[in-house]
Amino acid sequence: MTLPHTGRALADAAPVPYWLDRPVRPDPLPPLTGAHTADLLVVGGGYAGLWTAVLAKEAEPDRDVLLVDAGTCGWAASGRNGGFCAASLTHGLANGVERFPGEIVELERLGRENLDAIAATVARHGIDCDFERTGELAVAVEPYQLDGLAADADLGRRYGRDVRLLDRDQVRAEVASPTYLGGMWDRDRTALLDPAKLAWGLRRAALDLGVRIHEHTRVTGLAADGAALHATTAGGADAAPGAVRAARVALATNAFPPLLRRLRAWTVPVYDYALMTEPLTAAQRDAIGWRRRQGLADTGNQFHYYRLTADGRILFGGYDAVYHYGNRVAPALEQREATFRTLAAHFFTTFPQLEGLRFSHRWGGVIDTCTRFCAFFGTAHSGRLAYAAGYTGLGVGATRFAARVTLDLLAGADTPLTRLDLVRRKPLPFPPEPFRAAGINLTRWSLARADARNGRRNLWLRTLDRSGLGFDS
């Protein structure tokens, strides 16, 4: 249902990510031109690439590390996400238990250690990214979702998580929404942060450590060159082409057209959208409670995620997850009026007491979905290239772990990380077009239908469940 005031609320929203729309932004670094060499070339300057560069330099300060990004560091998913930095490396505990039952205890421990290490790095490098370890509150908004929350709380406790199940009154005492029927608060395995400030802070830390960074530099080709790899680059209209001969290459290009053909089978680019409100007044804040500032998510298949910012706005995102035929990725797809109207209507259903509040920003971005919902890893070119991809909308924390794995793979080392099933096994591939688009659209339709029918999954979803295939954001 579209409420009459949603159009007004969206009327002045700027069509750009709030986090990147800041008066103070880092100056772009010059494109790469001419011929260069490096011990390690990192392709992609989102979190995955930046963590790879930072960790490589921290481990070996003399290593010559060069990072290039087709845009500016953090312009893509890393600078425009919800800022939920979760400990989970498996897109949630239930998914991890189902897919990696033999090592989920270890993965939970590694995830926890990873989140702690992110907090420590943020402190060590003085990265001002409003890091708050608030935990996450999952809420039921339909009666059938209460059983799912209770099961998740049981599972969480079994694996040592600090979870609290909240009844209707308790959850509304935390956050005042008339739609809430119950909740589960996982108290310390999620931090909230300012995503662009994290990316820019990691970029600063990388530069301080001696990483050479070139922005507006797209790698256009990669080929074997004796014992090394040769990358060709293009730097936009004004810049001459460049080239890098590197002993090792880390691919961290997320949902963008991959430089390695095989990655096309394992990931699909899916657009996810978000709105940001204006800062709330003191009276509006009083009307919603939310004093403990948890990250919030509801628990349908099509779910919303929402959170407060440091300056008292609300980010409200999710629900639609849109795939475009042929893996299409394009700037025009970052805006989708129908989704913004849906999100605005759902926002005011969730918080009717905020009627009159306006949105200042609306945007979308692309995530790299894979059929197992969590990152996979691999090497090519006789181990000289390593990649990680497939974060499926939960990469803020997992990218740091993926960077550690990437560096272990590039070292050719047999380590506790490279021995993990999570690292050795690949997700099931997506079929080629036209079956890819048809399958994804049927799955999306079925998930929406399940949400409308008390969670009942149709034959198609049950078949996917049995084959270990899925679609999520």
Ligand X SMILES: Cc1cc2nc3c(=O)[nH]c(=O)nc-3n(C[C@H](O)[C@H](O)[C@H](O)COP(=O)(O)OP(=O)(O)OC[C@H]3O[C@@H](n4cnc5c(N)ncnc54)[C@H](O)[C@@H]3O)c2cc1C
Judged by the rule CB under 6 A, the positions of this chain that interact with ligand X are 43-49, 68-71, 75-78, 80-84, 86, 218-219, 252-254, 256, 259, 272, 274, 305, 317, 365-367, 391, 393-397, 399
DSSP letter, residue 24: S
CB of 261 to ligand X, least distance (A): 13
CB of 273 to ligand X, least distance (A): 6
For ligand X, the closer CB: 395 or 470: 395
Name the helix (H) or strand (E) containing 472: none
- 């679609």: which residue's tokens? 471
Helix (H, G, I), strand (E, B) or coil at 127: coil
109, 220 in Cβ contact below 8 A?
Answer: no
Residues contacting residue 419 through CB under 8 Å, at least 6 positions apart: none
CB of 295 to ligand X, least distance (A): 8
For ligand X, the closer CB: 70 or 354: 70
For ligand X, the closer CB: 6 or 473: 473
CB of 67 to ligand X, least distance (A): 9
For ligand X, the closer CB: 86 or 322: 86
CB of 355 to ligand X, least distance (A): 25
Angstrom distances, CA of residue 161 to CA of 137, 140, 193, 434: 13, 19, 21, 42
CA-closest candidate to residue 391, choices 410, 375, 376: 375
Output the CA torsion sign for 193, 52, 44, 439.
negative
Q: What does the block give as tokens for 435?
A: 């079956």
* Residues paired with residue 388 on neighbouring β-strands, in sequence order: 377
CB of 85 to ligand X, least distance (A): 6
* CA–CA gap between residue 84 and residue 317 (Å, rounded): 12
For ligand X, the closer CB: 258 or 284: 258
CB of 121 to ligand X, least distance (A): 16
Angstrom distances, CA of residue 428 to CA of 81, 114, 392, 432: 26, 26, 14, 13
The three state secondary structure string of 55-94 is HHHHHCCCCCEEEECCCCCCCCHHHHCCCEEECCCCCCHH
For ligand X, the closer CB: 209 or 287: 209
For ligand X, the closer CB: 84 or 180: 84
Give the Cβ contact number of residue 371 at 10 Å. 22
Give the Cβ contact number of residue 319 at 10 Å. 21
* CA–CA gap between residue 246 and residue 243 (Å, rounded): 10
80, 276 in Cβ contact below 8 A?
Answer: no
For ligand X, the closer CB: 13 or 252: 252
Give the Cβ contact number of residue 52 at 10 Å. 32
Nearest to ligand X by Cβ — which residue? Answer: 395
CB of 403 to ligand X, least distance (A): 9
For ligand X, the closer CB: 91 or 172: 91
286, 382 in Cβ contact below 8 A?
Answer: no
CB of 454 to ligand X, least distance (A): 27
For ligand X, the closer CB: 47 or 284: 47
CB of 144 to ligand X, least distance (A): 25
